[in-house]
Amino acid sequence: GGTAVADTADVTDPAQVAAMVAGALERWGRIDILVNNAGILRDKSFGELALEDFRAMLEVHVLGGFHAAKAVWERMRAQNYGRIVFTTSSTGLYGNFGQANYATAKAALIGLMKVLDQEGRKNDIRVNILSPTATTRMTEALLPEEDRALLDPADVTPGLLFLVSAEAPSGVMLCAGAGCFARAEVVETAGIYLPPEDRSPETVAQRFNEISAPEGAATLPNAWAQTKKYVALAREAQKNRSGKS
């Protein structure tokens, strides 16, 4: 029951992206949802990776997503409503041999999503990121034949539609594939405080298991939360040391 219009704009060209957005506004009068899904693959091991292949990946994935989000941002702010989804990858989250350029681009989009989530909140612009796995033209040559039937792109769609709905969360990394859904998080361990006399690489090495301990690990709401956490940890440790002395 919907209506769709194809547009062949090159997402690496901000003028073409702006024209695409203008065309959508002219036809429908408003833009409520943006899904940044443009992508390419140019897989090579890092030693064989050419600068032009690295740059092309950033141009399409990162700048392509930036140009499209930038083109709709002020419109969404003015109407106090918007839903934006970027597309990352398990490669950006966890790495994959031969995909240094792809991983870098997909990880960069996570950072962009995290910032736009914070900046869009006061205008009800909810920004999320989807990490899909499916049989597509980009992946079919990489997947075993017996897996392809299980990885129908349509099985990712429910997750995407949730992320762009009126009830959508914001700042979420949703993973989807083969009918499975999971949520990825960037977490930081509780950490430890080292007094001045122990601040050496040797002490870090000796206590690395404590530094890495998963107990108390948490997702931080923003960058300053990390700074505040460290300051609080240091103050508490210093207070305890003063009390003992």
Give tens-digit pLDDT for 172-182: 999 999 999 99
For residue 140, pLDDT beyond 70:
no
Q: Distances from the Cα of 69 to the Cαs of 64, 72, 99, 156, in angstroms?
A: 9, 5, 25, 22
For residue 142, pLDDT beyond 90:
no
H-assigned helices in 33-122:
51-57, 64-79, 90-94, 100-120
Residue 82: beta bridge partners? 125
Instruction: Show Cβ contacts of residue 44 under 8 Å, excluding neighbours closer than 6 positions.
Output: 50, 53, 98, 101
As a whole number of angstroms, the distance between CA 62 and CA 110 comes to 10
Annotation says 102 is catalytic = yes
Task: Give the pLDDT score at 94.
Answer: 97
Tokens of 83: 């839903």
Cβ contact 30:79 at 8 Å: yes
Band the pLDDT of 245: cuts 50, 70, 90: low
Of 81, 102, 193, 230, which one is the catalytic site residue? 102
Give tens-digit pLDDT for 6-25: 999 999 999 999 999 999 99
Question: Taking the model in full, what pTM does it have?
Answer: 0.93
* Residue 79: φ, ψ to 5°: -90, 0
Q: 100-128 burial, b if ≥16 CB within 10 A, otherwise e?
A: bbbbbbbbbbbebbbebbeebeebebbbb
Instruction: Write the single-letter amino acid at 243.
Output: G
As a whole number of angstroms, the distance between CA 123 and CA 82 comes to 8
Region 110-131 average pLDDT:
98
